[in-house]
Amino acid sequence: MKPKAFEVRRVVVLGTGGTIAGYVAGEVGVADLLESIGAPSGVTLVAEQVAQVDSKDMSFNVWRQLARRCAYWSDVPDVIGVVITHGTDTLEETAFFLHLTLECPFPVVLTGSMRHSAELSGDGPGNLRDAAQVALRPSSAGRGPLVVFGGDVFDARTVTKVHTSSVGAFGGYPGPIGRIDQGPTGPALRYFAGPEARHIYAPPELNARVEVLYAYAGWQGEGYAEAEARADGLVIAALGTGNLPAELLPLVEATHKPVVIATRTHAGPVLPLYGYAGGGATLRRAGAISASFLNAHKARLLLMLLLSLELSQHEVRRVFEEGLF
């Protein structure tokens, strides 16, 4: 991380909309959100509105704007970190996109809320305060984008939304990598793991199309041919450790595009263990690629980036199966 030897330090808060920006009669901008929290001692919070969209409408264009603004602010000497406010439905995908594409010397922290400002016990101000505190700490640098929710600090690779309405909506196996609490002497941030290596995949355009299919008992491949025809690659949220009904095996064998096998199970890796028709071992021999521990929507995003970079299937397999992300 570059040294910051300035009296006034700044944390930039990039707003994109979402529940944290919502209230009954409309929406508020990120500058209004900052009025609900006090700036940390010795730090100035700077508001910048990048977008005002519900997270279901998040797009590559907004992701690219966020990456560009993070890169811009990283060259401003007194800026020590960035916070991104975001709707919760696709927050994990934005975090993972930035994890895969953004080289940034300072902390980038995403947060949001499950309750808007007009509700009792709105969680937005507390989450925003915590995210700002995490963003200004040197110990947060070098970890890639982080997600802060309810005091927990999550890695972008493993974090996922685990509940539709709870204020503790975010989790992900094996759990948070850190915790920030507001103690009697001020905020206390603790990390339980060190930074890990990251690999950057940043195509100029995200122009590959990847479809996600979902396995279920009795699936005989309905929708597979149509998805394959219109996509550059497929991701299947498979069963258990990465198994599919036997009827899918010949479909995968006949597919010349990348087919990545994730799991619909909440946690755990894809392991090519079973040698029966449709088992993980036979799918791998048929050419399928293991998603490792990535869920289906993160596997889709990684595959889109790799295909947009025109990597070969051999190179795509290596990235996924060696965990080069």
Q: Which domains does the chain have, with CATH numbers?
A: 9-191 (3.40.50.1170), 210-321 (3.40.50.40)
Q: How far apart are CA 115 and CA 117, in angstroms?
A: 7
Task: Measure the CA–CA gap between 293 and 69, rounded to whole angstroms.
Answer: 30
| Maximum Cα interatomic distance, the chain, rounded to a whole number of Å | 66
The active-site residue out of 19, 88, 160, 241 is: 19
**Which residue matches tokens 């041919």?**
225
pTM over 0.75: yes
Closest CA to 323 of 91, 100, 98, 94: 100
User: Cα–Cα distance between 183 and 3 in angstroms, integer?
Assistant: 28
The pLDDT score that the predictor gives to residue 68 is 97
pLDDT of residue 45: 97
Residue 4, pLDDT above cutoff 80: no
Convert the pLDDT of each residue in 98-128 to its tens digit.
999 999 899 999 999 999 877 888 899 999 9
Residue 183: is its pLDDT beyond 90? Answer: no
Give the model confidence (pLDDT) of 42-93 as tens digits: 999 999 999 999 999 999 999 999 999 999 999 999 999 999 999 999 999 9
Q: Which amino acid, 17?
A: G
For the chain, the average pLDDT equals: 94
Active site residue 263: no
